[in-house]
Amino acid sequence: MFNKESFSARLLELRNERKVMAKDLAEHLGITKQAMSSLEKGKNIPSVPTLIALADYFDVSLDYLVGRSNDRTLL
């Protein structure tokens, strides 16, 4: 099950760890800065392609990104 709160917190945490600006990540993902903000605030659920792009960008598992696991490791 998708956990918006965990996803939002992890997205913000990963972005801050990498010191990536929201507008730069949004551009990389092909979404607007407003859409990025909505994802980080837990207002919207990302599409599957966006989730995959985020997991690839941050080199974490999808399960970690969506709050299903605390293990960042890719299988």
What is the phi-psi region of residue 43: left when phi exceeds 0, alpha when psi lies from -120 to 50, beta otherwise? Answer: alpha
Structural domain includes residue 71: no
Give the SS3 label for residue 72. Answer: coil
> Higher pLDDT residue, 60 or 69?
60
Please report the pLDDT score of residue 72 as a whole number. 85
Please report the pLDDT score of residue 1 as a whole number. 72
Domain around 36: 4-65
Please report the pLDDT score of residue 2 as a whole number. 79
Please report the pLDDT score of residue 75 as a whole number. 64
Structural domain includes residue 15: yes
Residue 51 sits in a domain of what CATH number? Answer: 1.10.260.40
Which of 18, 6, 2, 31 has its CA nearest to residue 59?
18
Residue that has been written with the tokens 């960042």 in this structure: 72
Q: How far apart are CA 48 and CA 13, in angstroms?
A: 20
Structural domain includes residue 49: yes
Question: How many domains does the structure of the chain reveal?
Answer: 1
Structural domain includes residue 74: no
Structural domain includes residue 36: yes
pTM of the model: 0.90
pLDDT in tens, 3-49: 889 999 999 999 999 999 999 999 999 999 999 999 999 999 999 99
